């Protein structure tokens, strides 16, 4: 059982426990991470960062109500804690409560006008709701803020496909390959798109041939 490491002299204990817990969490040592976060909160009960970290850990462990309480407490003690509002938005979005999730993501953008993560979440939410115009606007804004945002480009391409805007979708996926030539999602979608276009062209060609045969048969059937 891993206990928190000794805190070096002159180092803020809560900050060091936050760092140690984060490293353990990335290593999937959730028990050790939890001990670090809880110990840190014993030292600083109003540390919003530690609350959010522990809440994210509880979320991974399926302890949703405890996670929610920590996120809500974090933004209560620090109303400018963007990560807390972001986690609240994700919490409610995963539970299909867009009415509660949207204000949380909007709050993130109010606090940081360049927040790409919140806009991405809103774009996916609007796409699920069938609001293509707002979804497209959010994904395009993400790309404006970060031209290398492959995730937003991918979602924009999928949105275009769902709307039958195949040429625009193809352009988006090809743009992804400019930044990430081996991106598996873009390669997969382009392959599907090319197959769809080929199938459509074959169907159109067959229909034209059938129409031509029908026309020839009709002419042959006419009396001299």
Task: Quote the domain boundaries for residue 116.
Answer: 99-204
pLDDT of residue 14 exceeding 50: yes
| pLDDT above 50: residue 9 | no
| pLDDT of amino acid 198 | 65
CATH number for the domain harbouring residue 128: 1.25.40.10
Average pLDDT, the chain: 90
pLDDT for the residue numbered 10: 54
- 214 lies in a domain? no
Residues 120 and 186 reside in one and the same domain: yes
Residues 196 and 160 reside in one and the same domain: yes
Contact 25, 53 (CB under 8 A): yes
Task: Judge residue 209's burial from the number of C-beta atoms within 10 Å of its C-beta, 0-12 exposed, 13-18 middle, 19 or more buried.
Answer: exposed
Q: Are residues 103 and 71 in the same domain?
A: no
The per-residue pLDDT for range 154-208, each reduced to its tens digit, is: 999 999 999 999 999 999 999 999 999 999 999 999 998 888 676 666 666 666 6
Specify whether 113 is located in the same domain as 199: yes
Q: Is 89 part of any domain? A: no
Spell out the alpha helix ranges (H) of the chain: 13-26, 30-43, 48-60, 64-77, 82-94, 98-111, 116-129, 132-145, 150-162, 166-179, 184-221
Greater confidence (71 vs 211) lies with 71
Please count the structural domains in the chain. Answer: 2
Question: Do residue 197 and residue 124 come from a single domain?
Answer: yes
Instruction: Confirm whether 192 is domain-assigned.
Output: yes
What predicted TM-score, i.e. pTM, was given to this entire model? Answer: 0.81
What's the average model confidence in pLDDT over 109-128?
97
| pLDDT value, residue 157 | 96
* Pair 71, 126 in one domain: no
Model pLDDT, residue 25? 96
Tens digits of residue pLDDT in 19-70: 999 999 999 999 999 999 999 999 999 999 999 999 999 999 999 999 999 9
In the predicted model, is pLDDT for residue 106 greater than 80?
yes
Sign of CA dihedral 16, 18, 23, 28: positive
Task: Specify whether 131 is located in the same domain as 57.
Answer: no
In a domain, 16, yes or no: yes
Express each pLDDT in 80-90 by its tens digit: 999 999 999 99
- The answer to whether residues 106 and 166 belong to one domain is yes
pLDDT > 90: percent of the chain:
79
Domain presence at residue 219: no
Residue 8 confidence (pLDDT) above 70: no
pLDDT at residue number 6: 61
pLDDT of residue 194: 83
Q: Residues 103, 162: one domain?
A: yes
**Residue 122: inside a domain:** yes
In a domain, 93, yes or no: no
59 and 140, same domain (yes or no): no
Per-residue CA distances from 100 to 58, 89, 92, 93, 137 (Å) = 20, 7, 6, 8, 21
Please enumerate in sequence order all residues whose Cβ is within 8 A of that of 74, keeping only pairs 6 or more positions apart, or say none: 48, 49, 51, 52, 55, 81, 84
Is residue 108 located within the same domain as residue 197? yes
Do 197 and 153 share a structural domain? Answer: yes
Using CA atoms, how far apart are residues 100 and 78, in angstroms rounded to an integer? 19
Coil, strand or helix: which one is 1?
A: coil
């Amino acid at each position: 059982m891993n206990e928190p490491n000794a805190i070096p002299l002159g180092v803020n204990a809560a900050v060091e426990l936050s760092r140690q817990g984060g490293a353990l969490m990335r290593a999937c040592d959730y028990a050790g991470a939890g001990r670090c976060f809880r110990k840190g909160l014993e030292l600083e009960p109003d540390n919003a960062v530690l609350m959010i970290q522990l809440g994210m850990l509880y979320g991974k462990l399926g302890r949703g109500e405890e996670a929610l309480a920590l996120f809500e407490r974090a933004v209560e003690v620090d109303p400018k804690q963007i990560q807390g509002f972001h986690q609240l938005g994700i919490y409610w979005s995963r539970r299909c409560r867009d009415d509660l999730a949207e204000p949380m993501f909007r709050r993130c953008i109010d606090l940081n006008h360049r927040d790409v993560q919140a806009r991405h979440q809103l774009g996916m939410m609007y796409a699920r709701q069938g609001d293509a115009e707002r979804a497209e606007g959010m994904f395009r804004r993400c790309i404006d803020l970060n031209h290398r945002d492959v995730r937003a480009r991918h979602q924009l391409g999928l949105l275009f496909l769902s709307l039958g805007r195949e040429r625009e979708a193809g352009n988006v996926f090809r743009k992804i390959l400019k930044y990430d030539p081996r991106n598996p999602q873009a390669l997969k979608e382009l392959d599907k798109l090319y197959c769809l276009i080929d199938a459509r062209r074959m169907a159109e060609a067959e229909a034209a041939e059938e129409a031509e045969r029908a026309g020839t048969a009709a002419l042959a059937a006419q009396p001299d």
